[in-house]
Amino acid sequence: MTQKNLALVSGANGHLGNNLVRLLIRKGIPVRATVRNINNKAPFAGLDCEVVQADITDKSSFIKALQGVDTFYAVGAAFKLWAQDPEKEIYDVNIQGTRNTIEAAAEAGVKRIVYVSSIAALDYTKLPTRESYGYNPDRRDMYYNSKNDGEKLAFELAGKLGIEIVSVMPSAMIGSEAFLPLNVSYGVLKLILNKEIPVDTKITLNWIDVKDVAEGCYLAAQNGRDGERYILANERCITITDTTILANKLYPELRIKIPGSVPKSVLFIIAGIMEFSAKIQKKAPVLTRKDIAMFSGLQQNFDITKARKELGFNPKSPEQAVKEALSYLMEHKELLK
């Protein structure tokens, strides 16, 4: 039996994917959720949705998963800023994944795609940044490159295959339901609570509650214009150090040390040491020299007028998002291990 208005969410055990599944269920929309590993059932405990196996690197798995689907929320992607082989593990996966899933959606007769891009695909040279300013000219990071090139490819393919597509561009998502491993953004709050940020990096983040992004994805499916991109972020960013000060105020009993300022040259040395030890341990470093070069001092402020007006997007403030996310982590201590 075919279900009317069936929605498919890829990457449904990830942070955004899982919160989006929960939102759609609350709105009474039938949901099919895809995961790479079908044994990963914990994020769906108690949820009334169909869970199927599909991998963005395997087109045939998506042709099968997308049968009978009206709206496809293309959330699944490799979201990491570090890998042993960034081109192969991040760039190739995301580009191939975009091609596979959009071609599969067209073959399966899907009517509309909400493509989850990223603020990484925006041009930061003029502030506040708008969708109309185009793509990010900074080509130093494979994840950023995959989001810029992936979104362009998504629009090109959808146009060629005659399928409606709307792109949404979330910033640093935190808060609400989460499972290990935490995403990169949520991981920063974990580092703060675990007192693992040694110095003031002058890195800013544009914090957004993941529930607001999930709502923005749903609104994009309802109200977004075909072929348009919408920023799902807050107007202003906050430094990691100011976020630490906020955490310290909320949880004085933790006695979180506020990281001190050091010259940029020292930051590069610290990051270099962290990279070297990460290579030996084969795990992601807390900080890399590329992070310092690309993000130290970079302002991530956005003009979200278009998303507010056209979608009805109305996020809670970054401070409130941080407050609620820290509270969630403190209540779920297993996530801090």
d(C-alpha 172, C-alpha 179), whole Å: 17
Q: How much is the pLDDT for 1?
A: 42
d(C-alpha 193, C-alpha 205), whole Å: 16
d(C-alpha 324, C-alpha 119), whole Å: 22
Over the stretch 300-322, which tens digit does the pLDDT of each residue have? 999 999 999 999 999 999 999 99
Count each helix (H run) and each strand (E run) in the chain, helices first: 12, 13
CB count within 10 Å of CB 293 equals 16
For the cut 50, the answer to whether the pLDDT of residue 113 exceeds it is: yes
pLDDT-derived band at 2 (thresholds 50, 70, 90) equals low
Phi–psi pair at 315, nearest 5 degrees: -75, 155
| Mean pLDDT computed over 170-194 | 93
- Domains within the chain, CATH numbers bracketed: 7-179+207-234+301-316 (3.40.50.720)
Run of H or E including 230: strand 229-232
pLDDT-derived band at 91 (thresholds 50, 70, 90) equals very high
Q: How much is the pLDDT for 303?
A: 98
Mean pLDDT, all residues of the chain? 95
pLDDT-derived band at 219 (thresholds 50, 70, 90) equals very high
| Mean pLDDT computed over 58-64 | 97
